[in-house]
Amino acid sequence: MFGALARWRRRRVLQRVAIPDALWRDALASLPFLAVYTADELARLREKVVLFLDAKGIVGARGHEVTPLQRAIIAIQACVLVLELDLGYYAGFENVIVYPGEFVPDWEWEDEAGVVHRNDAPLAGEAMPGGPVALSWPDVAAGADWAATGMNLVIHEFAHKIDMRDGEANGCPPLPSRMPRAVWKKALTAAYDDFVARIDRGEDTEIDPYAAENPAEFFAVLSEVFFADPLLLRHEYPDVYGQFAAFYRQDPAPRAERLLAE
Ligand SMILES: [Zn+2]
């Protein structure tokens, strides 16, 4: 019964909330890393984006007005991570907040000793457990072109959201039963330790050194690399690539290879 109702609701949303063709084309054109996807996958991605936009608000803050193209560019990248997963990974929050630039979060938190902290360093993006995703639009725009910046802010913050589905971000999202947690931990920990050692040695890495910050940032940064530069991740950390391919149920590297050969 529930399944039938869910399917009916899904059909109704897809009919009611459509993305105009021209807007869809413009949004795809600004995200070159999507070139690895087939027409069929892009059609499914478009459906997922429609369902995402029905469920979430993408709202401007501090005077920023979100254009339809900006809304589409953010939603598409958020949905790339869950193209083959349930949108339920993004349950538990309602809004994506878009700022006109870097922002200082206006929340406080209390540590175990009862001391109240405030973060007063400006941020490009932030994902809060149980709260919204916040993004600086100029940083979203810069991250759309991976070749130029080597970063993708939207994928980064939504990877944190997926990680947080089972509590605090710790670099291990809730894994499906077909994936043993020990195998994930072994691959990720070995890669993380290696990466931290490389950064400590002062090595110049193609992967953003910010990944050495902690295991949660490692997962978020490597998720960016998995989607936007899959050959780099498969080359540097093949075991992590394998775990990500199993988790996200996508295998973008062979496609990127074929594209390069064309
Ligand atoms: Zn982060």
The pLDDT value given to residue 14: 67
The pLDDT value given to residue 181: 96
CA of 24 to the centre of ligand 1 (A): 28
The pLDDT value given to residue 205: 95
Burial label for 123, CB within 10 Å (0-12, 13-18, 19+), is middle
With a cut of 50, list the residues of the chain below it in pLDDT: none
Of 90, 17, 82, nearest to 44 by C-alpha is 82
The pLDDT value given to residue 129: 86
CA of 39 to the centre of ligand 1 (A): 31
The pLDDT value given to residue 26: 96
CA of 14 to the centre of ligand 1 (A): 32
| Residues 206, 78: Cα–Cα separation, whole Å | 23
Six token digits for residue 123: 């941020």
CA of 98 to the centre of ligand 1 (A): 16
CA of 10 to the centre of ligand 1 (A): 32
CA of 156 to the centre of ligand 1 (A): 6
Cβ distance 92 to 109 under 8 Å? no
The pLDDT value given to residue 85: 96
CA of 212 to the centre of ligand 1 (A): 11
The pLDDT value given to residue 33: 93
CA of 253 to the centre of ligand 1 (A): 24
Six token digits for residue 37: 């996807």
The pLDDT value given to residue 222: 98
CA of 97 to the centre of ligand 1 (A): 16
